[in-house]
Amino acid sequence: MNYPLLKNQLPETIKKVWIKTSLLTFTLSLLFGAVFAGALMYFERLTTIWQLIAGSYLSVILLIFLLNFFLISYRYTYFRYEITGKEVVFQKGFIFRSITYVPFSRIQHIETEQGPLLRQENLMELIIHTAATNHHIAGLSIEEAQMIRHNVLLKVEELSEDGN
């Protein structure tokens, strides 16, 4: 079955953010493992079982890093969004794909966020809050995030005025 892709894709620069995030997470995980192993060595508790656990930990974080790193292009291809006349649509997943439809009538409020890695690439994250959950579009250009926020808020306001 051919899975339909939504029309709006994130900017290419989001890949740089995902690469930096993956490297940072891997580095911090290695650092945590090294501190733990150093503490065991310092207190002379580095037995065979702890060496096995440390090797397993290293293998798992290396595997997760490699999967994250090499699947960035697939993640980029399948993370999309669209604003229709009645809803905001989110698409994600390259193995287990999903499309989420959020009607304007369910939106409670919208936030924009920008962490240091997004700021380096002049990108912003848009967070749409509903009563049940939050929906994120991380990696929009600043102008596009502000425009989408404004347009969605106008649609939500129109619906609330019609409903009263």
What digits encode the pLDDT tens for the residues 123-156?
A: 999 999 999 999 999 899 999 999 999 999 999 9
What digits encode the pLDDT tens for the residues 102-127?
A: 999 999 999 999 999 999 999 999 99
CA atoms within 13 A of residue 67's CA, in its CB half-sphere: 8
Whole-angstrom distance, CA of residue 60 vs CA of residue 9: 31
37 and 54 Cβ atoms separated by less than 8 Å: yes
Confidence of residue 77 (pLDDT cuts 50, 70, 90): very high
Q: What percent of the chain has pLDDT over 90?
A: 76
pLDDT at residue number 152? 94
- Three-state SS for 78? helix
Going by the DSSP 8-state scheme, the letter that residue 10 receives in this structure is: -
